[in-house]
């Protein structure tokens, strides 16, 4: 996807943009590639691939949720800023928290946040299970792109969502995860509202978006240690 194709695709998503946002994204790309030569942030480095598989892929979340009605966003496992930084560029009203356990990546996130002069962006170097202890029921939207299996991810993410607000997972093919994932979501007080499956470019690039709402607040006493979440993940019993 070259730049012209990208901007047309963004317009097709009904996302408005101006010259400043185009300049920010171009600077983001250049800084990402330059930084990546020193620190391994991504294996995707060709401009056309970055614009498709990182930038456009991040924006596809708009297919399933209206970000104009969202204020606070938590991006779990943000890595080099996907989707969090990209969403902030296009939806500047968002207050975005980026969390990642990899110090090299959070150092880059601090760097790029300052380089792009983005406000209302907080970078957290921590594991999400630790961060959630003091931040239960806090965000309008919690999202995660290509992070762990659905039932484990749901148990990490949903406690951080405000009651009656949303969790969106951005993954590839979830057919092998959906049964246990649905069970975990329901067990945790969530409800699947919608799902969308599509291809970024061809059948090798399948994407699935899952929109979940949280129907009741998370009680701190219901939080399990990460070791138990992984060792005994929530799953449907036969």
pLDDT tens for residues 153-191?
999 999 999 999 999 999 988 889 999 999 999 999 999
Instruction: Tell whether 61 is covered by a domain.
Output: no
Q: How far apart are CA 156 and CA 227, in angstroms?
A: 12
Helix ranges (H only) for 92-159 are 103-115, 128-131, 150-157
Comparing C-alpha atoms, which of 183, 122, 177, 179 is closest to residue 158?
183
Q: Mean pLDDT throughout 85-89?
A: 98
CA–CA gap between residue 57 and residue 6 (Å, rounded): 10
Q: What is the CATH number of the domain that holds 167?
A: 3.40.50.150
Q: Is residue 42 part of a domain?
A: no
Is pLDDT of 238 > 90? no
Domain count, the chain: 1
Per residue in 38-84, pLDDT (tens digit) is: 999 999 999 999 999 999 999 999 999 999 999 999 999 999 999 99
- What pLDDT is attached to residue 107? 98
Provide the edge-to-edge strand list for the sheet that holds 139-145: 121-125, 95-100, 72-76, 139-145, 161-171, 206-214, 190-199
Please give the Cα distance from 169 to 47 (Å, whole number): 25
Give the span between the Cα atoms of 80 and 221, in whole angstroms.
33
| Letter string b/e over residues 109-123, b meaning 16 or more CB atoms within 10 A of that residue's CB | beebbeebebeebeb
The domain of 90 spans 66-231
Encode pLDDT of 100-153 as tens digits.
999 999 999 999 999 999 999 999 999 999 999 999 999 999 999 977 899 999
The three-class DSSP label of residue 17 is: coil
127 within a domain of the structure (yes/no): yes
Q: Which residues contact 138 (CB under 8 A, 6 or more apart)?
A: 72, 74, 160, 162
Q: How far apart are CA 71 and CA 159, in angstroms?
A: 18
Residue 201: pLDDT band by 50, 70, 90 thresholds? Answer: confident
Position 3 confidence tier, pLDDT thresholds 50, 70, 90: very high
In this structure, is the dihedral angle defined by the CA atoms of residues 28, 32, 34 and 39, taken in order, positive or negative? positive
Tell me, yes or no, whether 197 lies in a domain: yes
In a domain, 133, yes or no: yes
Interval 20-37 mean pLDDT? 97
Percentages of the chain per state (helix, strand, coil), in multiples of 5: 45, 20, 35
Q: What is the pTM of this model?
A: 0.95
């Amino acid at each position: 996807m070259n730049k012209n194709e990208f901007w047309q695709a963004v317009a097709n998503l009904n996302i408005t943009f101006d010259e400043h946002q185009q300049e920010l994204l171009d600077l983001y790309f250049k800084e990402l590639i330059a930084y990546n030569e020193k620190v391994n942030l991504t294996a995707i480095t060709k401009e056309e691939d970055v614009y498709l598989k990182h930038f456009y892929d991040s924006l596809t979340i708009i297919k399933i949720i209206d970000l104009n009605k969202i204020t606070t966003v938590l991006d779990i496992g943000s890595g080099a800023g996907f989707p969090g930084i990209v969403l902030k560029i296009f939806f500047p009203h968002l207050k975005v928290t980026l969390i990642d356990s990899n110090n090299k990546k959070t150092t880059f996130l601090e760097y790029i946040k300052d380089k792009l002069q983005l406000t209302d962006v907080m970078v957290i170097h921590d594991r999400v299970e630790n961060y959630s202890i003091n931040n239960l029921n806090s965000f309008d939207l919690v999202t995660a792109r290509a992070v762990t299996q659905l039932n484990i991810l749901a148990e990490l993410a949903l406690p951080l969502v405000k009651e009656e607000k949303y969790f969106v997972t951005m993954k590839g093919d979830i057919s092998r995860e959906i049964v246990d994932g649905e069970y975990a979501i329901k067990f945790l007080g969530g409800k699947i509202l919608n799902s969308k499956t599509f291809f970024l470019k061809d059948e090798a690039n399948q994407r699935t978006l899952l929109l979940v709402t949280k129907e009741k607040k998370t009680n701190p006493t219901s939080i399990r240690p990460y070791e138990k979440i992984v060792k005994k993940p929530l799953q449907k019993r036969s």
